[in-house]
Amino acid sequence: MAFAGASEASAPAIANFKSEIAAAQPDAKRAELAERLTRELERIASGVDGSVSYLIVDLTSGERFARRADEPFPTASAIKIGILHELFVQADAGRVRLDDPRPLPPAARVGGSGILQRLSSPQLSLRDHAMLMILLSDNSSTNVLIDALGMETITSHMQALGATGYRLRRRMMDAAAAARGEENVASASDLVVVMDALRTGRGLTSASQAEATRILREYGPTAIRAGIPADVQVAAKPGGLDGVRTEVAWVDLKGRPYLICVMTSFLVTDADGDRAITELSRTAYQYFSRLARAGVEGRLFSR
């Protein structure tokens, strides 16, 4: 009787134990994949002859894969996504008008200005300058926007969004300021915060959010895009200086969207930074695309 009583008493406990194990299985399986991803990301980053930071955020689960994600790095042109966000904030508030023309005299043109160097006296709207700043990474257009919006205002508003390490300290191509240590910096976490604000429309009207992200999606080939199939929608902004390669992106993968930022510095060879960004991007995409196709227990379905 004692034996039978023990069996009867333990039956519910055994049933509960089995149900707990069954419920935990999918999470355990996904955790195994996440651990494998973490190891592969670290392998790629540690193989770069330079300094590497990254942050990848799963927008479905909130899971983060990070390496030195809160350390400040030179941003190069990736800093421009904060300027884009601030432009639309001020336009929504009526402080600037997107269609107002802003002249660009020859004396105001700086290196990295592409087509503007060839125009006699361009009169472009703030919207046009924003397009050139993002799509062609035009530095003269960027400086027009910095002057219109206010350098300190841009920085303070990005920090208020949560990008606490975002610091726009100089205009584009100001070598003297850079030599004084006034470098434009942010962490991978900061750039992800700003990209997420553009993605969600935080602080923006729906129309401004749509226009800003449309501009970012129209950017041409990038290192992150090179690791992702062409049919996946990506909003991205890269940046590069001597010894520096960085990029931040929102990858709108159906069923498993994510944010990714990779920052590098002290590169012996700049191409190594580009290759690392592409490899990290490809590795992240393979992980998220598998999750997007998977059922609860891990069976993969066509999408």
pLDDT tens track for 84-103: 999 999 999 999 999 999 88
- Tell me: pLDDT of 3 over 50: no
Q: Which domains does the chain show, CATH number per domain?
A: 41-292 (3.40.710.10)
Long-range contacts of 293-300 (CB under 8 A, 24+ apart): 293/255, 296/26, 297/25, 297/26, 297/29, 298/26, 298/29
Please tell me the distance from the alpha carbon of residue 257 to that of residue 241, in angstroms, as a whole number. Answer: 29
Q: At what angle do helices 270-293 and 2-46 cross, to 10 degrees?
A: 150
Please tell me the distance from the alpha carbon of residue 6 to that of residue 110, in angstroms, as a whole number. Answer: 84
Predicted confidence (pLDDT) per residue in 145-161, tens digit: 999 999 999 999 999 99
pTM listed for this prediction: 0.87
Please tell me the distance from the alpha carbon of residue 222 to that of residue 245, in angstroms, as a whole number. Answer: 11
Quote the pLDDT of residue 24. 44
Task: Tell me the two tokens of residue 159.
Answer: 């920090």
Task: Tell me the two tokens of residue 302.
Answer: 């066509």
- Tell me: pLDDT of 37 over 70: yes
